Each structure stands twice: as C-alpha cells, then as structure tokens.
Amino acid sequence: MPVTNRRWVLASRPDGKPSLDNFRLEDQELRDPGEHEVLVKGLYISVDPGMRSRLSGDSYAQALGIGETIEGAMIGTVKASNNERFKTGDLVMGGFGWQEYALSNGRGLAKLDASIFQPPLTVTAAIGVLGIPGLTAYFGLLDMAKPKEGETVLISSAAGPVGATAGQIARMKGCTVVGIAGSRDKCDYVTKELGFDRCFNYEEEKDLVAAIKQACPKGVDIYFDNVGGEMLDAAITNTNERARLIISGAVAEYNRPEPRGIRNTTRLITHRLRMEGLVVFDYFKQFPQAQAEMAGWIKSGKLKYTEDISEGIETTPEAFLGLFEGENHGRRLIKLG
C-alpha cells in the first residue's frame, strides 16, 4: 500500500549561516516498491556538520539541488521488499537523508546484524560511533597520523563524536591526549568520563596559542583538526618536528563566505610538518574490519560514546543548526515517530 512520506528538502541555498527558511518539510506519496526495490521505514536519522558544504556546493561531494532531500544517514526497518537480499522486518541502514521512509533498489542499503547491537551497544551506534564519525576518527588517527606511545595528540571539537572517539583511541595507543571544546561541561566529559589527560574551553581563552602551549607543554605531535580557522593556526604554532596535522573538518569555516587562511606556513617547512586532508570514504573497503574492532572496544569498556537524540522529524533542521552553536553533547540523531 502506498505510504505518505515526510521529508526535508533544500528550499534555498544559505548565504553564510543556514536558517530554518533554507529547509522545507514536504509530504510525498511513495509508490509501492517495484522490482528489486525495498521500502524502508526510518527509525533514526543523523544530522552532520559536514553536510553544510553540500547546501552551497563547495564540498568534495556534489551540491544538493533545490528541492532535493537533505543528506543524512538512516537506520530503519524493511516494511516491504521485492529484493531477495532483504526481507520484511530486517534492520537496515543507508544514506537516505532527512525523511521518514525511503525506497531503495538495494544499492547502499546494508543489513544490520541485530546480534552485534546488544548492550552496551545501541543500534544507533551504527550511524554514530560505528558509522561515519567513528570511522573518521579511526582511520584519521590510526592510518594517517600513526600515533606513537608518549606522543601528544591535540583534538579540536573534542566532545563531538569524531573528536571523542579519536581521543579515546589515542589514549589506547599510549598518547597524552588534550582536547579543546566549547564549554566546561564538555571538557569535564572528555577528561572525567573518557580519560583525556587535559582539555581547555576555548571560549574562556583570549590567546589560543598560549592556551595550547600550556595544555601541551611538550608540544603537539598530532593535531586532529575538526574545526579549522584560528585553531588550526594556533595548533601549527605549537607543533613539534615531524608533527602530523590531520584535517578532518572545518566546522568553524563552513558558514563563512570567505575561508580564512593559515598564516603560519613557514613552520611547515622548519618543522617538517605533514598536513593531510581526510575523506573517510577512501577507506570504504576497510570499514567492516574497523567496525568489528571498535565494537570489541565498546564491549570491553575501552571506548565510550554519547548520543544526543531529539524526537520527531520536525526537529531535524533545528538539531542541525544547533551543531554550529555547540549545542550537541555527542552524536546528534533524530528519533522518528
């Protein structure tokens, strides 16, 4: 039987910081699944800071068109299937965006093994710590930065899902881990609950270079950058020789019409620094191995995660906009009705 889907589409392109007017909630009649197709009813969807670039069209991924469904990850259950790989009731995930239902031809649709998602693992971990944010931390840190015992790892947006995961993995590798976050609560969370060695609240610091110097007295060997802008520049000024700067994201830059430049480029030469951009999908084939390892860490209590879940598809754009105000405590998801 056809269903009425509700979905958020791009109504207009943001100029700088997005606002609610840039999004429109639409009803859409979905036909029954055709040959090889599957109808998925969403349980949870994600909001992701990196999606901001797709609204304007300056990302490595193609820009969203006006009227297109806003991008995000979805966990759902199969309501009807004409695809032999899926049956009604299967728990699945895919990149179906901000909507309540999705019709899929099976490409990009993955079945979740319910036996893995047993306490302490929640099913939502599939689009959080075991999804793109956690994998970004895993590959950015382990494959690109290659941390060595005793090194100092500095992480911006430390309490977010990427930063929190990267910090805990760095601790497992015997590094000293220093976080930067936007509130005392977030700093308490990463130090007291996640085992970071230190953290400072950048909102309370006038001089970022001095704040990093004080928090990292032996200098920075790895900077895991989720923020860009001034913080990146301040981190570069505190690097040791052969430091690795892993550019995961630039959340402080996404809403700026003009990007800010890095001033301290000379240090890249004098200190033989390596700065490298990360696109987690480059590691796609290695995702299952990383997910299995991280699931093991969660089950043994070595890796913790927090989710920040709002209810109802209506809340999605506000939840997204809040990411740029530091409102989220952990991975931000929407529970669908």
List interacting residues with ligand NAP (CB under 6 A).
48-50, 132-133, 136, 157, 159-163, 181-183, 186, 226-227, 248-252, 278-280, 323-324, 326, 328
How far apart are CB 46 and ligand NAP at their closest, in Å?
9
Which residue of the chain is nearest ligand NAP when measured via CB?
249
Q: Output the smallest distance, CB 124 to ligand NAP, in A.
A: 14
Instruction: Kindly tell me which of 72 and 163 has the beta carbon lying closer to ligand NAP.
Output: 163
12: left (phi over 0), alpha (psi -120 to 50) or beta: beta
For ligand NAP, the closer CB: 105 or 310: 310
- What does residue 245 show for φ and ψ, rounded to 5 degrees? -110, 110
Name the 3-class secondary structure at 102.
strand
Cα four-point dihedral sign 334, 6, 94, 38: positive
**CB of 115 vs ligand NAP, minimal distance in Å:** 27
Which amino acid makes up residue 202? Y
In contact, 100 and 77? CB cutoff 8 Å = no
Which amino acid makes up residue 247?
Answer: I
Looking at the Cβ atoms of 314 and 327, the one nearer to ligand NAP is 327
Is residue 90 a contact partner of residue 52, using CB atoms and an 8 Å limit?
no
Taking the complex as a whole, the smallest distance from the CB of residue 35 to ligand NAP amounts, in Å, to 34
Structure-block tokens of residue 303: 């890796």
Contact 280, 132 (CB under 8 A): yes
68 token code pair: 């297109």
Indicate the residue among 33 and 229 with the shorter CB distance to ligand NAP. Answer: 229
> Which is closer to ligand NAP, CB of 33 or CB of 133?
133
Closer to ligand NAP by Cβ: residue 5 or 332: 332
Q: Least separation, in Å, of the C-beta of 104 and ligand NAP?
A: 22
Q: Taking the complex as a whole, how short is the minimal distance between the CB of residue 306 and ligand NAP, in angstroms? A: 10
Minimum Å distance from CB 209 to ligand NAP? 16
Whole-angstrom Cα distance, residue 130 to residue 295? 7
Question: For the CA atoms of the chain, what is the radius of gyration?
Answer: 20
Strands (E), 58-100: 74-81, 91-94
Q: Which is nearer to ligand NAP, 90 or 143 (CB)?
A: 143
